[in-house]
């Protein structure tokens, strides 16, 4: 996840964005599990696909896919070309993906 606008003083921090996304996915997971159309006549799940660990609040560390968070800013000025600040982590991640 690329967290942009980090040059703005009151922007949301990367750790807070992660918590907000985990909270939203946790809510989505619980509503999907409770949905009436997912149950058959015997109230058993028709298709049991669960994100994360059952009975525990969702956390990105629970899934098999690696999820990384990176902070960046896209800075522009009148006399200079646009510059992407904080790209070292992003470039490292892209290069790692290419090598795999």
pLDDT at 32: 74
Structure tokens at 11: 């922007």
**Ranges of each domain in the chain:** 2-99
Residue 45 has pLDDT above 70, yes or no: no
Spatial distance between the Cα atoms of 14 and 6, rounded to a whole number of angstroms: 9
Structure tokens at 19: 């918590």
Spatial distance between the Cα atoms of 19 and 17, rounded to a whole number of angstroms: 5
Could you read off the pLDDT of 59-83 as tens digits, one per residue? 999 988 888 888 877 766 666 666 6
Of 35-44, 51-60, 64-73, give the lowest mean pLDDT range.
35-44
Could you read off the pLDDT of 7-29 as tens digits, one per residue? 678 888 889 999 999 999 999 88
Q: For all residues of the chain together, what is the average pLDDT?
A: 77
- Those residues whose C-beta lies under 8 Å from the C-beta of residue 58, and which sit 6 or more positions away, are 22, 25, 26, 29, 51, 52
The number of residues in the chain equals 100
Looking at 3.30.360.10, 3.40.1190.20, 3.40.50.300, 3.40.50.150, the CATH number of the domain 2-99 comes to: 3.40.50.300
């Amino acid at each position: 996840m690329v967290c942009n606008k980090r040059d703005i003083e009151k922007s949301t921090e990367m750790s807070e964005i992660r918590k907000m996304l985990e909270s939203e996915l946790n809510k989505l997971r619980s509503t999907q599990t409770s949905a009436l159309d997912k149950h058959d006549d015997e109230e058993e799940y028709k298709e049991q696909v669960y994100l994360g660990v059952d009975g525990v609040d969702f956390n990105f560390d629970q899934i098999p896919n690696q999820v990384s968070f990176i902070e960046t800013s896209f800075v522009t000025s009148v006399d200079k070309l646009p510059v992407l600040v904080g790209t070292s982590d992003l470039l490292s991640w892209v290069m790692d993906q290419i090598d795999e």
